[in-house]
Amino acid sequence: GDSVTQMEGPVTLSEEAFLTINCTYTATGYPSLFWYVQYPGEGLQLLLKATKADDKGSNKGFEATYRKETTSFHLEKGSVQVSDSAVYFCALRSPGGKLIFGQGTELSVKP
Amino acid sequence: GAGVSQSPSNKVTEKGKDVELRCDPISGHTALYWYRQSLGQGLEFLIYFQGNSAPDKSGLPSDRFSAERTGGSVSTLTIQRTQQEDSAVYLCASSSPDSSGNTIYFGEGSWLTVV
């Protein structure tokens, strides 16, 4: 069945460091891919998405490119801030199917 | 409403009691999901409703868990004979008519504590 694998956390970075959170997926069809974020004490929010191969989703300085050849959707940000500290979830949804999440990666950014 | 609404936001119950958790999806959204998030854990899929199709119940952990969706809108997740391991945040989400790229919106969750 469809699945998502994320790099394990926690990830601890200093402010202004470069961030990469790896995400790979397994799917039989052509899923849409998502990154959701959960800030401390808050609900899940969509961060960005891509619906087809080579699409790049971007929001709040974060980017992720849908790579069909490597079945990946890695999340990147050039310069993280303390306010980016949160748990990040990679997810996929196949047509007609349910949203499937990775295990989540906790990011902690220190001043 | 403006977003996915869940109630109660917090529930403490005694082991062995039944609980019902309610979800009001965004108006017009035909897809509705229930997930469970245990402390420090990821998101565990429970059940998925899509329009008039038979729900995908493949994630329900035991026959103590059930869910229904009345009139294609409000959904209720029922946990019978609650156990301590049922303690978690139960998240409801909805999205507009089926397209895999449509954004799925989450509610704030119902925090369940079984004592």
Confidence check: pLDDT of B100 > 80: no
A7 touches chain B (CB under 8 A): no
A22 touches chain B (CB under 8 A): no
B88: part of which helix (H) or strand (E)?
A: strand B88-95
Q: Looking at chain A, how many residues does it have? A: 111
Predicted confidence band at A30 (pLDDT cuts at 50, 70, 90)? Answer: confident
A57 touches chain B (CB under 8 A): no
In the predicted model, what is the mean pLDDT of chain B? 91
Q: Which of B43, B56, B33, B57 is nearest to B88 (CA)?
A: B43
Tokens of A99: 């949203």
* Amino acid making up residue B20: E
User: Is the CB of residue B13 less than 8 Å from the CB of residue B20?
Assistant: no
Percentage of chain A lying above the pLDDT 70 cut = 100
Dist CA B83 CA A88 (whole Å): 29
